[in-house]
């Protein structure tokens, strides 16, 4: 018997949760259910995170959370409960299987069967954003070695467990050499530990095009957060319906399971919603808690029900479907098929699908870190980089000199192009002269001089070499 936390959510949430629980309990799931309230009601009662402190206690105590979709009210500074839950509970891995159910669910990709493993905590989702000048805002993209190691290892271990043959990595490291570069490097390092699994890397743009065009080329795909967010919806959609896919959010301690779709408020209370997405999430949950035989029984009954042509409105098609049913009737049909297996679609076998045991991240020995310069970011409304450069040379000392100025990453001094469009946000790089050593004190002095001369410094970024390797980007055109 496993105790799980359940949230029935908003919109169609309560109906699809009821259907899902009915099916898995009828299949013999050994569950004790503790229900919590999250979502719209909690938000509207004035809690901007959509969840009360006592509900967190329940989730953290039980460690396994089955969640129906919720409605995030528009405006009012309401924080996404999904993002908060993933981050607070360290649910670093988002797993989304996307499989075609041809010929029972219409799709242009009849043989597609892939799994997207999306990093779930980092990247642009760290949510660190600032306005720095009248014209420029920024969002920090944070990628960490532990983040990369954990998700990439998860992808390979998952592939091994599921008997999948290949893991593909998507990044944009031709442009983001530090952040996506780290993700790609870690992928190559970890791939070497799994010689029996094929590995490959695609630049995300052509990778995404291939995924949309020939998804049958892929098996497991691992990627940073933002790309994974976008492409997992694309992958689910091209199987025929986003309403059919479930997702698992896995951490070292806790896990959350859900449908990938939202609360579809316009369909609420009408007994029409398809419970399949949440049921798929629940099947992943049963595998996670080791109730693999029940998970297998439910999945095969679900496949058989789809094969029988018993379909909810979203996948109903004249000539293919035999009966259009509501949420409750669909659940009853799956229950009636428990113990049966599909005959055209491939039945599943989950004998080895229990939770993966992954090693804890081990921090490496600290590198030799040397300060090699500083980027001083300046808010300056002028247009001529040469003019800014002459103002900045007044900040130079015996040890540090102005090395270059870029605007939105493009080098505009020395020897810029007059055609380059410039905003009011300038990155001014200072580097030590040959033989001189730079310290934090040098940066403080630079800032003090800038302040005394009325130059509006908005931030500094230190330029480091780690173990002798330059660890910052050059200016475009440098």
Name the minimum Å distance from CB 360 to ligand NAD: 29
Nearest-angstrom CA–CA distance, 340 and 301: 6
Query: 207 or 275: whose CB is closer to ligand NAD?
Result: 275
Q: For residue 176, how many other CB atoms are within 10 A of its CB? A: 17
Letter string b/e over residues 65-87, b meaning 16 or more CB atoms within 10 A of that residue's CB:
bbbbbbbbeeeeebeebbeebbb
Query: 119 or 314: whose CB is closer to ligand NAD?
Result: 314
Q: For residue 125, how many other CB atoms are within 10 A of its CB? A: 20
Query: 261 or 288: whose CB is closer to ligand NAD?
Result: 261
Name the minimum Å distance from CB 277 to ligand NAD: 6
Enumerate the H helices of 373-465 as residue ranges: 385-393, 440-452
Instruction: Say whether 57 sits in a helix, a strand or coil.
Output: helix
Contacts of 346 (CB under 8 A, 6+ apart): none
Contact 363, 309 (CB under 8 A): no
Query: 12 or 91: whose CB is closer to ligand NAD?
Result: 12
Contact 13, 70 (CB under 8 A): yes
Query: 313 or 361: whose CB is closer to ligand NAD?
Result: 313
Name the minimum Å distance from CB 256 to ligand NAD: 10
Q: What share of the chain is helix, strand, coil (3-state, %, to 5)?
A: 35, 25, 40
Name the minimum Å distance from CB 311 to ligand NAD: 11
Name the minimum Å distance from CB 278 to ligand NAD: 8
Name the minimum Å distance from CB 263 to ligand NAD: 4
Query: 8 or 261: whose CB is closer to ligand NAD?
Result: 261
Query: 45 or 209: whose CB is closer to ligand NAD?
Result: 45
Query: 14 or 265: whose CB is closer to ligand NAD?
Result: 265
Query: 52 or 465: whose CB is closer to ligand NAD?
Result: 52
Q: Which residues bind ligand NAD (CB under 6 A)?
A: 12, 16, 69-72, 82, 243, 258, 261-267, 273-274, 277, 314
Name the minimum Å distance from CB 174 to ligand NAD: 32
Alpha carbon distances (Å) from 55 to 42, 90, 240, 343: 11, 17, 35, 43
Name the minimum Å distance from CB 69 to ligand NAD: 4
Nearest-angstrom CA–CA distance, 83 and 175: 27
Name the minimum Å distance from CB 317 to ligand NAD: 14
Nearest-angstrom CA–CA distance, 257 and 64: 8
DSSP 8-state assignment for residue 298: H
Tracing tokens 């791939």 back to the chain, one arrives at 191
Query: 71 or 107: whose CB is closer to ligand NAD?
Result: 71
Given the DSSP bridges, would you call strands 400-407 and 410-413 parallel, antiparallel or unpaired? antiparallel
DSSP 8-state assignment for residue 244: G
The residue number with the shortest CB distance to ligand NAD is: 262
361-364, long-range: CB < 8 A, 24+ apart = 361/146, 361/149, 361/150, 363/146, 364/145
Query: 264 or 422: whose CB is closer to ligand NAD?
Result: 264
Helix axes 276-288, 292-307, angle to 10 degrees: 160
Query: Which candidate, 453, 460, 380, places its Cα nearest to that of 423?
Result: 380
Name the minimum Å distance from CB 59 to ligand NAD: 15
Name the minimum Å distance from CB 197 to ligand NAD: 31
Contact 260, 245 (CB under 8 A): yes
């Amino acid at each position: 018997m496993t105790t799980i936390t359940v949230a029935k959510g908003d919109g169609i949430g309560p109906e699809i949760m009821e259907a899902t629980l009915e099916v898995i309990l009828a299949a013999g799931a050994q569950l004790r259910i503790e229900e919590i309230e999250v979502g719209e009601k909690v938000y509207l009662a004035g809690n901007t995170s959509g969840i009360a402190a006592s509900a967190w206690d329940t989730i953290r105590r039980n460690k396994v959370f089955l969640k129906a979709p919720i409605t995030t009210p528009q405006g009012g500074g309401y924080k996404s409960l999904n993002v908060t839950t993933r981050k607070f509970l360290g649910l670093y891995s988002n797993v989304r299987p996307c499989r075609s159910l041809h010929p029972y669910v219409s799709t242009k990709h009849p043989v597609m069967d892939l799994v997207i493993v999306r990093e779930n905590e980092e990247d642009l989702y760290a949510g660190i954003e600032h306005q720095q000048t009248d014209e420029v805002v920024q969002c920090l993209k944070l990628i960490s070695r532990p983040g990369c190691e954990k998700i990439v290892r998860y992808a390979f271990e998952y592939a091994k467990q599921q008997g999948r043959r290949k893991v593909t990595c998507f990044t944009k490291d031709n442009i983001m050499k530090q952040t996506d570069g780290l993700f790609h490097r870690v992928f190559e390092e970890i791939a070497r530990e799994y010689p029996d699994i094929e590995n490959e890397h695609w630049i995300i743009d052509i990778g995404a095009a291939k995924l949309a065009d020939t998804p049958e080329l892929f098996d497991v795909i691992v990627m940073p957060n933002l790309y994974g967010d976008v492409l997992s919806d694309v992958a689910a959609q091209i199987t025929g319906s986003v309403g059919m896919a479930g997702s698992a959010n896995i951490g070292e301690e806790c896990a959350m399971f859900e449908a990938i779709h939202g609360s579809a408020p316009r369909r609420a209370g009408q007994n029409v919603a398809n419970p399949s997405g949440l049921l798929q999430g629940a099947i992943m949950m049963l595998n996670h808690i080791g109730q693999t035989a029940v998970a297998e029984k439910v999945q095969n009954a679900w496949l058989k029900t789809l094969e029988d042509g018993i379909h909810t409105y979203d996948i109903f098609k004249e000539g293919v479907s035999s009966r259009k049913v509501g949420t409750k009737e669909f659940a009853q049909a799956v229950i009636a098929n428990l113990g049966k297996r599909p005959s055209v679609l491939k039945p599943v076998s989950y004998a080895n699908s229990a939770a993966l045991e992954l090693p804890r991240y081990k921090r490496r020995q600290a590198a030799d870190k040397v300060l090699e310069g500083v980027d001083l970011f300046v808010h300056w409304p002028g247009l001529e980089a040469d003019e800014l450069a002459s103002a900045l040379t007044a900040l130079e000392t015996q040890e540090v000199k102005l090395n270059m100025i870029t605007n939105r990453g493009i080098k505009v001094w020395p020897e810029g192009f007059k055609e380059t469009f410039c905003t009011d946000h300038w990155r001014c790089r200072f580097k030590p002269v040959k033989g001189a050593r730079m310290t934090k004190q040098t940066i403080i002095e630079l800032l003090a001089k800038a302040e005394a001369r009325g130059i509006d410094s908005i931030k500094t970024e230190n330029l480091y070499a780690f173990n002798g390797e330059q660890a910052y980007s050059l200016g475009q055109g440098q």
